[in-house]
Amino acid sequence: MTCNPRYEILFEPMPIGPVTAPNRFYQVPHASGMTNALPRVRAAFREAKAEGGWGVICTGACSIDPSSDDAPLPFATLWDDNDIRAHALMTEAVHRHGSLAGVELWHGGASVMNRASRLPPLSPSGIPWMATHVGFMGNLRPKTMDKADIKEVLRCQAEAARKARTAGFDIVYVYAGMGYLGYEFLLPEYNHRADEYGGSIENRVRFVREMIEVTKDAVGKVCGVALRVSLEELRGRPGRNQPSEAHELIELLADLPDLFDVKMDSSPTDCSASRFTGEGSHEPVIDFVKSLTKKPVVGVGRFTSPDTMVSQIRRGVLDFIGGARPSIADPFLPAKIREGREAEIRECIGCNICISSWHDGVPVRCTQNPTAGEEWRRGWHPERVVRADRPERILIVGGGPAGLECALTLGRRGHEVTLADSSRGFGGRLTFEKTLPGLSAWNRVVDYRLGRLGEMSNVSLYPESTLGVDEIIDLAPERVVLATGARWTDMLYSSMEIPVGRLDHPAVFTPDDIAAGRLPQGPTLVFDFDNYYMGGVLTEHLAAQGVPVSYVTPAGQASAWTIMTNELPLVHRALARRKVPVATLHLLKAFDGETATLAHLFTGEESRIACRSVLIVGLRLPRNALFEALSARTNDLTTAGIKSVDRIGDALAPGAIAHAVHSGHKLAQEIGAETRRSPYRRDTPIVDAVADFELRTAAE
């Protein structure tokens, strides 16, 4: 298969100052949660994308100095020789496949607390970042930078750029976005200065200009220098000589950097979830940039369609197709387009589990790509698996995300797989969830796997097939895998913040009831202590069906955990649009069919709300009846030649779809192997052993 002629423009080489990218696919800087503490994990994660055809592969935020210390959150550093060696692993891995390596040099300014370095945070005017967030040790406020501080940061930027060149990077960034130091100089809310760095847009741009200049002086003859800048707020500010201050900023810097990397200002808009935002959502903010500069421009928009990518280029919006989330979901997206295999692209579903990983301080996870972050740790490749030494006959019961992924990976390993599900089609929980407001893109998890399974002669799919113990024994597979999912319960929630007791009433519903087509009678109270998307999206769903509904949660916000996926403000806006009353910090104590009794989580003060139905979105438990029945017939299983019965996904431990997919993939990789369930490899920082010995000797 060859590249569709429509897409050939995506594979044109593109110059970035003194270096040339092999194509227009540009993995923009994004957090990976790997940092210098996991250098081999990081290198292998980025290398997979280079192997998959991304022309430029960038790090995430990389601190230039201990005055920009984001501990304990994961962040990379370029402070010393050990850091250079750690990053060199990544640049060497990327260069092996002919791609360019970029580094996003970063100073967090007032957005960091410097918990480890204990240096005062820096700010143009002493204004803290996001004052509603909990600070550190009595809410430490940033220091107002004087001229000496500015000079020192410029020195650190230049020194970090030189270290980046030594580490092998081809593109070096200046970062002026997302609330970090350069951005703080650009916005008058942060910048109250009366000197040459404050006031007019020309003055507010000065610090960023000087950061670019010192970077170019340090590496500009051998490395491309990129400016990453947020434009959303500035686009909304009228300019004096241009339609907006964003226009004026680009005009003022038009000839200085070798590349403009343009983005939004906050995570909920920059990395918005598919539930609320479609592909290419940045365009209305950044569409003007190319009209004001001759330098190449890269931007993102959760691009997964090659037609959309080509449109961005031909209409003069972008020169490079930026990808963060799509590059995680399918590191081989460019290669598949180049080879005419667009149908095989594992499209990002926009669930933002990857972003939650960074907030959790762990290596990136992905719902679509279970190998993300596991390339070095477990030796998993996003496109290749090791063939089984001896193929086996394996029966999988349950065709949801875990079962589908397990079947796909087992099939690729050469096993003879039978996948059975009692429903009319495959998809498990997504059969219903894909119909809920904003979640249609999530069914890409099912579509991708069914598409690939349909191409395999060694995998048989049997919908509408209910299997019990006797049927499984009669089939006599060598191994059985149960992906029977989980069920929602009607358990309540205590002031100790644990599920306790049941609310037993005919008008009490769970999400399983809604999925089965039972619509509660309004007014309905939704009591949500699951705290992820389900409670909020079901509230929207009921409201859209015309059911009067109110939302109650013991958490501090609606769908509180969605702060981890950048959705929290958008959830509240969605509920407000539906005119849904929201009560936080409340427990549901009782319900009699006409009134629900609530109690404040902290004070215990009771209140009542009139409702005729209650929908509890709380505890999920595995559907284990079949597993327990099989466990009771071990002798019969042995006689039938069944070697093992395993559970995967929600049947093992209920969680997000990403966990289910990973669980199915892990079992499929390990099943039948002697090293099954062996620990993953543990990475360690790269340390100069001689220097470390000298330090320890001196301390002793």
User: What pLDDT does 133 receive?
Assistant: 52
The residue type at 594: E
Q: How many domains does the chain have?
A: 3
Same structural domain, 416 and 524: no
Could you read off the pLDDT of 656-666 as tens digits, one per residue? 999 999 999 99
For residue 377, tell me if it sits in a domain: no
Residue 695 pLDDT greater than 50, yes or no = no
Phi and psi at 693, nearest 5°, equal -65, -45
Domain co-membership, 594 together with 631: no
| Cβ atoms of residues 543 and 549 within 8 Å | yes
- Nearest-angstrom CA–CA distance, 244 and 225: 25
Residues 508 and 553 in one domain: yes
Are residues 294 and 326 both part of a single domain?
Answer: yes
pLDDT of residue 131: 52
Q: Interhelix angle for 401-412 vs 657-670, to 10°? A: 30
Q: Which of 336, 358, 380 is the last residue of a domain?
A: 358
Q: Are residues 607 and 664 in the same domain?
A: no
Mean pLDDT in residue range 543-553? 97
Do 615 and 636 reside in the same domain of the chain? no
Q: Centre a 10 Å sphere on the Cβ of residue 425 and count the other Cβ atoms it contains.
A: 13
CB 282 within 8 A of CB 321: no
For the stretch 69-111, pLDDT in tens is 988 888 999 999 999 999 999 999 999 999 999 999 999 999 8
Query: Which residue range(s) make up the domain with 88?
Result: 8-358
Instruction: Looking at the structure, tell me whether residues 72 and 149 fall in a common domain.
Output: yes
- Chain-centre distance for alpha carbon 333: 17
Say how far apart CA 667 and CA 682 lie, in whole Å: 20
Position 691 in a domain: no
Look at residue 692 and tell me if it is in a domain.
no
Q: How far apart are CA 615 and CA 621, in angstroms?
A: 17
| CA distances, 617 to each of 502, 509, 572, 590, 608 (Å) | 13, 9, 17, 15, 19
Q: Residue 1 domain-assigned?
A: no
Q: Which residue numbers are catalytic?
A: 180
Q: Is residue 700 part of a domain?
A: no
- Calculate ∠ Cα 238-240-243, nearest 5°: 45
pLDDT tens digits, residue range 482-492? 999 999 999 99
d(CA 557, CA 563): 9
In the prediction, which pLDDT does 506 show?
96
* SS3 of residue 60 by DSSP: strand
Q: For residue range 28-52, what is the model confidence (pLDDT) as tens digits?
A: 999 998 989 999 999 999 999 999 9
Residues 586, 633 within the same domain: no
Does 627 share its domain with 637? yes
Higher-confidence residue: 698 or 454?
A: 454
Find tokens 């996948």 and name the residue. Answer: 419
Q: Are 33 and 358 in contact (CB under 8 A)?
A: yes
Is 230:265 a contact under the CB 8 Å cutoff? Answer: yes
Task: Evaluate whether residue 678 is within a structural domain.
Answer: no
Which residue is associated with the tokens 């964003």?
246
Two tokens, residue 254 = 């038009």
Segment 226-248 shows an average pLDDT of: 96
Closest CA to 223 of 273, 144, 165, 290: 165
What is the structure's pLDDT at 141? 82
Q: What is the mean pLDDT of the chain?
A: 94
Dihedral sign from CA coordinates of 433, 435, 437, 440: positive
Same domain assignment for residues 617 and 628: no
Q: Would you say residue 330 lies in a domain?
A: yes
Q: Nearest Cα to 416, choosing from 390, 452, 381, 446? A: 390
| 561 within domain boundaries | yes
pTM above 0.85, yes or no: yes
In this structure, which amino acid lies at residue 497?
Answer: E
CATH number at residue 239: 3.20.20.70
Domain with residue 563: its CATH number is 3.50.50.60
For residue range 173-221, list pLDDT tens digits in order: 999 999 999 999 999 999 999 999 999 999 999 999 999 999 999 999 9
Q: Say whether both 652 and 567 belong to one domain.
A: no
Does one domain contain both 513 and 453? Answer: no
